[in-house]
Structure 1
Amino acid sequence: MTQKQTFFSIVIPTYNRPERLATCLGAIAHLNYPRDRFEVIVVDDGSDTPMEPVVAPFRQQLDITLITQSNAGPATARNKGVAKAKGEFLVFTDDDCTPDPDWLKALADHFTTAPDSLIGGLAINALPDNLFSTASQLLIDYLYDYYNTDPNQATFFASNNFALAKETFHQLGGFDTTFPLAAGEDREWCDRWLHNGYQMIYAPQAKVYHSHHLTLKRFWRQHFNYGRGAFHFHQLRAKRNLDKMKVEPFSFYLDLLTYPFSKPSKQPSLLLAILFCLSQVANVAGFFWERSTQTTTAKRQLSQTACD
């Protein structure tokens, strides 16, 4: 008897990127995986224009559901998508990613031997001619090299390419919706996953191509928001572990700044290194901005409580 294929629910949050979403869905429509063994759930996070015209052409090719919500961030959007999921396993990606044809097959192969694990795939920069997009993806590559040295004991995956059992997702409470931005919620999820004793496995065979077009302004804003998310993450982790807030050691940052010189790229290594420096300045600025904002808010609430 032929073994039944794994049933996946692919969850895609989207916001104001109809062209990217169409490209993403087009790639999913060409996956080398049985059509009756996966579904696609698109969650429109309050886009300015309706996404139904983007989704409609794919309804004859895919089992696809479109959900709309008021803008609340990708964490909330993913949780809402999971609430409608019928699959045994959940797969998360973003609207600016195009999966490799063997994406689901590679994930399914890992679940046959590790069904209780969080499986993270590889994201490849699809815009090598864009300096800022290249630098941004190279930063993620560094994090993967740093945190996932042993593929069977990985500790960090970005939410644009990972998969897990739906039952475990519900048991752990889903993504933390106190993260309003696309910054830090995936890191917090991985930390919570490990805190509860589950395994993370890095599977670079499960590939997506990431087309995140960036300018200097967008690059700064992206990493400023990462800093904001990092503060919130460290705050939550410290509370969970009943410990002081901790950040990475100095060697982490030293190795990060020299990383562009160790990797081949179409872009000049020196320019990439300068952008790495800029990303860390933006990250620190966002970190302390978020800390200041939360401190001010807490003081205001305490003052209002005292007056009451």
Structure 2
Amino acid sequence: MIFASIIIPTCNRTDDLRACLEKLVPQLPADGSVEVIAADDGSSSLSKEMLTVVFPSVQWLQGPRRGPAANRNRGALAARGEWLIFMDDDLVPEPGYLQGYLDVMQAAPRQLCVLEGATMRLPKPPSLLWEAPENIRAHGHLTCSCNFAIRAATYRDMEGFDERYLGGVYAEDTDLSARLQSAGFRVEFVPAACVVHPIRHLPDVAKLARRWEGKVIFAFDQGASWLTVGWRLPWHVLRVIQSRFRNQPMSNENLHAVVLFFGEWLLVLCQTPAWVWKWMSAPRSRFWRSSSHPVPKFGF
């Protein structure tokens, strides 16, 4: 009997996936009660070949190639566990990571349906040109989709991740978190289920800017008007960029970041009208159409 399914969405990061599994697979129970599924959105067969040779117990699935949200849903569709554990392919699980989740799951009352593990960012980013998510304390809501667990029945009831968040468009975890909150689910933080997220160099300006399109989708789902989205998104992005420089030292890399982030803001400013036009008349998600508890401030 499968008690928990670990779902790892991956895309053209064979080395990262292998490093993740080298730390994860030895933690699996010997009784086979936990399965591991790699949903592969990659364009080559390298990850599949690596899994076949090195980790034959890991199930490989072809992803839909529509971005992380759809890829996670693909893995969840094939999962057989009562609980679903989601982790990204570039995470390195700490010793006791899986047992930390299992201990809480096995003792969880029926009303506890969502768990969130700890994510440490290592090493410390040397400048603003490097990034990685970090979540090391309880917030009472889902803040980072790279390391969390949810009952499979709850995931199905919530219809998983919203697949309108395509490719490099972010905020699918913001949307899922908001839906869980609106539906009244409590999220319990599990510090023992800890992973390390290595830092990565920032992508180019175009990819940075495209992340913000998800905020437009989310805002319209909350009932924002096209005028509200049109002026508030560029202002919100500008304030976020300003906050990145808080308590940052002067350095050549941070000066480079000024140029990079200014380009990001300019692209958002230019692309916002097109995003507004694209999403203002698009259908809202089924959940938000029927919800009576919209999230205030539209996520800005």
TM-score by structure 2 length? 0.74
Distance 1:276 1:192, change over 3 A: farther
Give the corresponding residue for 1:197. 184
Q: Aligned to 2:80, which of 80, 86, 92?
A: 86
Letter in 2 for 1:185: E
Distance 1:107 1:178, change over 3 A: same
Distance 1:68 1:203, change over 3 A: same
Are the equivalent residues in 2 in contact too, given 1:98–1:209 (CA < 8 A)? yes
Give the corresponding residue for 2:9. 13
Distance 1:256 1:127, change over 3 A: closer
| Structure 1 position 208 matched with structure 2 position 195 | yes
Secondary structure of residue in 2 paired with 1:90: strand
Q: Aligned to 1:22, which of 18, 24, 27?
A: 18
Q: Aligned to 1:293, which of 245, 268, 274?
A: 274
Secondary structure of residue in 2 paired with 1:51: helix
Give the corresponding residue for 1:306. none
Are the equivalent residues in 2 in contact too, given 1:25–1:58 (CA < 8 A)? no
Give the corresponding residue for 1:95. 89
Distance, in Å, in 2 between the alignment partners of 1:294 and 1:255 is 24
Distance, in Å, in 2 between the alignment partners of 1:279 and 1:197 is 40
Equivalence map 1:152-191=2 (5 Å):
153-154=140-141, 156-182=142-168, 183-191=170-178
Distance, in Å, in 2 between the alignment partners of 1:237 and 1:299 is 12
Letter in 1 for 2:274: T
Higher mean C-alpha displacement, 273-282 vs 29-38: 273-282
Distance 1:16 1:132, change over 3 A: farther
Distance 1:41 1:300, change over 3 A: closer
Sequence identity percentage:
21
Distance 1:249 1:54, change over 3 A: closer
Aligned length, in residue pairs = 273
RMSD: 3.7
Distance, in Å, in 2 between the alignment partners of 1:36 and 1:100 is 21
Higher mean C-alpha displacement, 115-124 vs 18-27: 115-124
What residue ranges of structure 2 are gaps of 5+ in the alignment?
283-300
Distance, in Å, in 1 between the alignment partners of 2:238 and 2:127 is 26
Are the equivalent residues in 2 in contact too, given 1:118–1:199 (CA < 8 A)? yes
Secondary structure of residue in 1 paired with 2:167: coil
Distance 1:89 1:300, change over 3 A: closer
What residue ranges of structure 1 are gaps of 5+ in the alignment?
262-267, 302-308
Q: Per residue, is there more helix in 1 or in 2? A: 1
Give the corresponding residue for 1:230. 215
Are the equivalent residues in 1 in contact too, given 2:4–2:81 (CA < 8 A)? yes
